[in-house]
Chain A
Amino acid sequence: MIMLRKTTPKRDPVLEPIADPGQVTGFSSPAQDYSEDRLHIIQKLVKDPTNTYYFEMENNDMAVYGIVKGALLIVDRSMKPKHGTIVIANVEGEWITRKLILNADKKFLTCGIENQDILITDDGIIIFGSVTWSCNPMANGTMVKHLIP
């Protein structure tokens, strides 16, 4: 029913000084008829921008599940959390990211360490939404961009 959103961000004239590098003045490009839009990561990461929110991981509590300090978390509220979903929750005013476990006998939020599980009782815990992707920082600011000048 919902078509995949086609997202190509606007051209940045500094990084992409020519608007259409495929336009040639001499021999016409044999690739012209075969052009497709280049991939862009947001096409994968953000399916429903209207319902997408962003959070940032502050520590390594969820390292077991591959979310490290500084990770950018993409949260889609339209995805209903299920058993096993990583969720953003608010427990008495504190924002946490945890894996949601819905067992028949016990519902809780976990970071993979058993004695730190947070039981979901009826009050005090609000689930904000499901984390659909986590982007871990790898070389934040340590690499120099090769761009002239």
Chain B
Amino acid sequence: MVALVDCNNFYASCERLFKPELIGKPIIVLSNNDGCVIARSNEAKDLGITMGAVFYMIEEDIKKHKINVFSSNYTLYGDMSARVMTNLARFSTEVEVYSIDECFLGLTGIFDLERYAHLIRNSIIQNTGIPVSVGIAPTKTLAKLANKMCKRTGGLCVLDTEEKITAAVKEYNVEDIWGIGRAYAKQLILLGIETAADLRDQPIGFVQDKLTIQGVRMWNELWGRSCIPLSDVLERKKGLCTSRAFSKLTNDMEELSEATASYANRLSLKLRKDQSCATVISVRLLTNRFKADEPQAFPSITIPLTHAVNNTSEIVKVALFGLRAIYREGFMYQKVEVTATGLIPETEVQLNMFSKWNGPINDKLSKIMDQINGHYGRGTVRIAAEGTAQRWAMKRNFLSPAYTTQWKDIIKTK
């Protein structure tokens, strides 16, 4: 048996934990740059605030209903997520952290599943203050389904008999099945397949035809035959990307350079954390495609590197070279993306005998920068190309404190 444990309205719950006066009050959390709604408390959902709603367009609703607004505080959410996952891992030796707020647990050999589910749920709520839902079923696909079902019924759902599973799939919409994309869902609904049960009752040939091998796995899983094992080993990432929209559109080369340098720096840090090196760096500029009346451009460049690297100086240098190569005047850019691909493990880097190689020194420099920034806080030591004013920097007007990661931000009590 497999459990899927999912944190309820995770971002909103994190904010609420340190502001309990907001219990029962509507909360929304905005995307980076305070662009649109990415998380809502149940109260905000009930008020009709939609996922992805653009912030400035719902400002009136926010005022009218006194909705509490937060900028996304990923430092806090990341730490709270780690606390939840660590607590969950105490309940099983098979753990797959699936996303920031979801986790699969293998429950082989547990007899009283209902009781165990209660135990897991109560312990997470006691230890972290984050409410969770627990769905238990014979396969991952069904566990996911069970979890979604219990969001309404109050936090627990154990599908451990054929009857319970059959009843559950009957009232479950096909578009909500784990692994069914929007395009597939549309096709299926057109064919009259509306619930998970409808899909399950199709012959295997049909599924193979319409939904490929992934679909066959899912179909088997809906019948309670496990096809998607828990994976506790992370696959090495194939590529890493840092991108973020600017707080305002810009065509200023200086600002763009600073932003590119800053993202390239962050990218190199990600690479070092991942213990991999990039062999290819791509840079892309993007205008705002939602402003249809303005000229649009999405110039990009892909640059192969002579050496696989992950140190800050070289990746920034390459990214800035790329930016200069693609920059065109006459456009207002909204976003720059710096991507590293062709990743290889740090330990398998081969040197190129035909080029001058300054790697060891730059690697050392990056390591020292990481140490200093790790100790004194992110951004203490930066490279000059990132600039000091950072006018393009992210807008986070409603950011809550880093309650659990910064001493200056711990809560004062009376």
Chain A residues engaging chain B, CB cutoff 8 angstroms: 50-51, 53-59, 61, 73, 77-78, 80, 88, 90, 92-97, 126, 128
For the complex, what is the distance from the CA of A72 to the CA of B385, rounded to whole Å?
40
Taking a contact as CB atoms under 8 Å apart, the answer to whether B404 and A94 are in contact is: no
Instruction: Determine if B275 is an interface residue (Cβ-Cβ < 8 Å).
Output: no
CB distance from B103 to the nearest CB of A (A): 14
B19, closest chain A residue (CB): A93
User: In the complex, are the beta carbons of B404 and A53 less than 8 A apart?
Assistant: yes
Is B129 among interface residues, defined by CB-CB distance under 8 A?
Answer: yes
Stretch at the interface among B28-36, B153-161, B212-220, B406-414: B406-414
Q: Which residues of B contact A73 (CB under 8 A)?
A: 413
Q: A51-B83, A126-B23 are in contact. Are A77 and B413 (CB under 8 A)?
A: no
Q: Tell yes or no: B87 within 8 A of A by CB.
A: yes
Whether B59 is near chain A, meaning CB under 8 Å from some CB there, is no
B126 interface residue (CB < 8 Å to A): yes
- Also in contact, A55 and B128, with CB within 8 A (given A50-B86, A90-B21, A92-B21): no
Is there a chain A Cβ closer than 8 Å to B358's Cβ? no
How far, in whole Å, are A80 and B411 apart by their CA atoms in the complex? 21
Q: Which residue of A lies closest to B82 (CB)?
A: A50
> Which residues does B use to contact A, with CB under 8 Å?
19-21, 23, 82-83, 86-87, 126-129, 403-404, 407, 410-414
Q: Is there an interface contact between A61 and B414, defined as CB atoms closer than 8 Å?
A: yes
Q: Assess whether B414 is in contact with A128, with CB atoms less than 8 Å apart.
A: no
Name the CB-closest residue of A to B17.
Answer: A128
Interface residue SS majority, chain A: strand
Is the beta-carbon distance between B412 and A128 smaller than 8 angstroms?
no
A56-B129 in contact given A50-B83, A50-B86, A51-B87 (Cβ < 8 Å): no
For B87, the chain A residues whose CB sits under 8 A away are 50-51
Shortest beta-carbon distance from B8 to chain A in Å: 17
A56 touches B410 (CB 8 A): yes
Q: Which residue of B lies closest to A58 (CB)?
A: B412
A-B residue pairs in contact (CB < 8 Å), sample of 11 = A51-B128, A53-B404, A54-B410, A56-B410, A56-B413, A77-B127, A78-B126, A78-B127, A93-B19, A93-B21, A97-B413
A95 in contact with B128 given A50-B87, A90-B21 (CB within 8 Å): no
- Chain B proximity of A133: nearest CB distance (Å): 14
Asked if A96 and B414 sit within 8 Å, CB to CB, the answer is yes
Given contacts A56-B410, A58-B412, contact A126 B83 (CB under 8 A): no
Specify the chain B residue showing the minimal Cβ separation from A51: B127
B144 CB to closest chain A CB (Å) equals 26
Q: Which residues of B contact A90 (CB under 8 A)?
A: 20-21
Q: Give the residues in chain B near A53, CB-CB below 8 Å.
A: 403-404
Contact between chains at B410 and A95 (CB < 8 Å): no
Q: Which residues of B contact A57 (CB under 8 A)?
A: 412-414
A77 B410 Cβ-Cβ under 8 A = no
* Cα of A7 to Cα of B361 in the assembled complex, Å: 33
Give, as a whole number of angstroms, the nearest-CB distance from A58 to chain B: 4
A14 to B410 CA separation, bound complex (whole angstroms): 27
Is A128 a contact partner of B129 (Cβ separation < 8 A)?
yes
Q: Which of B127, B128, B403, B404 has the most CB of A within 10 A?
A: B127
Q: How far is the CB of A34 from chain B (nearest CB, A)?
A: 33
The 7 closest A-B pairs by CB, nearest first: A93-B21, A126-B20, A95-B413, A90-B20, A58-B412, A50-B86, A51-B127
Min CB distance A118 to B, Å, is 11
Which residue of chain A is the closest to B129 with respect to CB atoms? A77
Q: Give Cα A92 to B21, complex, Å.
A: 6
CA of A57 to CA of B129 in the docked complex: distance in angstroms? 22
**Which of B19, B126, B403, B414 has the largest count of A CB atoms less than 10 A from its CB?**
B414
Complex Cα distance A120/B21, Å? 16
Asked whether, in the complex, the Cβ of A88 is within 8 Å of the Cβ of B20, the reply is no
